[in-house]
Amino acid sequence: MRIAVIGLGGVGGFICAMLSKTHHEVVGFGRGEHLKAIQHNGLEIVEDENSWIATVDARDLDAADGYFDVVLFCVKSYDLEEAYKKIAPYIDTNTIILSFSNGVANGDTLKNISDCKVLDACIYIISHVQESGVIRKKGKVFAAIFGGLDEPTMRVAEIFSDAHLRYKTPDDIQKAIWKKYMFISAFATACSYYDNTIGYIYEHHKVEVTTLLNEIAQVAHGKGIEIADEVQKALATASKVPYDSSPSMYLDFKNKKRVELESLSGYIKTPLMQKMYEELRSRD
């Protein structure tokens, strides 16, 4: 199959590099100096114990061509609709599309603007662009979660299996997405607010982040999604990741880039989350 990976940052870059080892035709779409470095030197993946370089067909989205059977959107949530518009001429109703962007409404966004086969999805990974052309992945954490349509889900599962990438296809995909959102929203907000890493937040601000996790669970409950029992699991996960792990939103704040504040913090209208959101908005 011909696969487009849109966005070659920490998430898309790692996935694209892994897919490049398969028999599928994979095209990665990026931009700026990062894209130029990949085009000239390949895409380097730095993991805890090793590093390797993938040869990737990397392009700007304006250089898209042909037809794509599957499109993986790995852009920031605020860039999702624009990325879709650019790839739309190269897909049709048979194309499978899914977004690994942060947030809980990306599948709905795609369903509202597209007639493609849309899967709901999220991903667990700790990775970022270390420098142009280099993706730094920390720890062993990786799981792509997707579902919603049986046959398209099976086809995407086969692709991830070919790339030896861990995946899950839960029966209740919305609950799975909210479970991931609970963790990333709480820790992205807390790390950004306190200007520190996941390990530091767990060690020094466990009470506050636990409150955030419970608030998110309450919002999910209002939507008929029960994830209260995931609060302690989220804390356990935070205790196990590398101490200096940082959510992408926190890294974007530090690097003075545009941040996913609305989808990760502003979406939850609860007391502590709103207090932190308002403070972070004043810094943005």
Looking at 117, 140, 169, which one is the last position of a domain? Answer: 169
Number of domains in the chain: 2
30 with 144, same domain? yes
Q: Any idea what the CATH number is for the domain that residue 225 is in?
A: 1.10.1040.10
31 with 157, same domain? yes
Looking at 169, 188, 215, which one is the last position of a domain? Answer: 169
Full residue range of the structural domain in which residue 199 is found: 175-283
Whether 109 contacts 83, CB under 8 Å: no
DSSP string across 107-138: HHHHHHH--SEEEEEEEEEEEEEEETTEEEEE
6 with 79, same domain? yes
* Whole-number Å distance between alpha carbons of 75 and 153: 21
* Whole-number Å distance between alpha carbons of 10 and 157: 21
Average pLDDT over the chain reads 96
* Whole-number Å distance between alpha carbons of 46 and 147: 29
* Whole-number Å distance between alpha carbons of 182 and 39: 36
Q: Any idea what the CATH number is for the domain that residue 33 is in?
A: 3.40.50.720
141 with 28, same domain? yes
Q: Give the per-residue pLDDT at 126.
A: 87
How many Cβ atoms from other residues are within 10 Å of residue 156's Cβ? Answer: 24
Quick check: 284 pLDDT over 80?
no
Model confidence over 56-110: pLDDT tens digits?
A: 999 999 999 999 999 999 999 999 999 999 999 999 999 999 999 999 999 999 9
Model confidence over 180-212: pLDDT tens digits?
A: 999 999 999 999 999 999 999 999 999 999 999
Q: Report yes or no on whether pTM surpasses 0.85.
A: yes
